[in-house]
Amino acid sequence: MARLFTEHGIAFESLYVASVGAAQWPNESLGCPESGTYYDTSDAPYTGNIYVLSNGSQSWEYHSNHDDSIVVRCDEITRVSPPTVNLANEADLHNASEVTLMRRDSDTGNFVVRRVMTEADMQRLIDIFDLETDLSPAPGCDSVFRLDFVTRSGSSEVEFICAEDYSAFDIFWNGLHGYAPIIGYIIGPYLIGDPVPTLPTATP
């Protein structure tokens, strides 16, 4: 909200809450997706609130999560122009029967099998990629990992993480580029051993 003052010169004392309403969204973007970014869908629907601030002549809409720890304003989000692409549809991921996590061998430069992923994790990945988003042309980079989906139409490959920048969760598909930080939480257990087991629920 500080941008209202720094960028638009709106005096804080002139602002008031014009409306507040409950809302829910299908992913972590809270209805304000950033261009080319994929979000977690595992806890959908994501609940929160929509606040509208006003100074009497203008208004600004803010979206928050359930405890107001994350607040975003959609018109502050970076977006590029369409066209958009739904990776899950275009790569036929909805018909995938298996997905394998691959890792690039630093000595040979070739991808080698790290581990076949569970069906549940495969579905979680598909749900994340099932989003209309505007991907940009892919920059050159040596990707570290690859997801190989076995589909009815053949193999669909999604590469991710540039060796040059491990901190950014870049993804690459069919010459296009986006971001999917949430994938790190899904593949993490496969890099240190078996997937984290589901503990049984204690009974009295």
The whole-number pLDDT of residue 192 equals: 78
Grouping H, G, I as helix, E, B as strand and the rest as coil, residue 44 is coil
- Paired with 186 in beta bridges are none
pLDDT exceeds 90 at position 57:
no
Share of the chain above pLDDT 70, in %: 86
Q: List the chain domain ranges.
A: 8-76, 85-192
Region 146-150 average pLDDT: 97
What is the b/e burial string over 112-144, where b = at least 16 CB atoms within 10 angstroms of the residue's CB?
eeebebeeebbebbbbbbbbebbbeebeebebb
N-terminal to C-terminal alpha carbon distance within the chain? 49
Mean pLDDT check: name the lowest of 90-94, 174-178, 196-200.
196-200
Q: What are the contacts of 187-195 at 24+ separation with CB within 8 A?
A: 187/101, 187/117, 187/145, 190/101, 190/114, 190/115, 190/117, 191/114, 195/117, 195/118, 195/121
pLDDT exceeds 60 at position 198:
no
pLDDT exceeds 90 at position 15:
no
Rounded Cα distance between 183 and 160, Å, is 9
8 pLDDT tier (thresholds 50, 70, 90): low
The whole-number pLDDT of residue 80 equals: 56
| Mean pLDDT estimate for the chain | 86
Domain 85-192 classified CATH 2.20.25? no
pTM across the whole model:
0.76
Specify the higher pLDDT residue, 133 or 149. Answer: 149
Question: Six-digit token pair at 107?
Answer: 């000595």
- Rg for the chain, CA atoms, rounded: 20
Rounded Cα distance between 132 and 192, Å, is 32
pLDDT exceeds 50 at position 195:
no
With beta carbons less than 8 A apart as the criterion, state whether 142 and 131 touch.
no
204 pLDDT tier (thresholds 50, 70, 90): very low
Specify the higher pLDDT residue, 199 or 176. Answer: 176
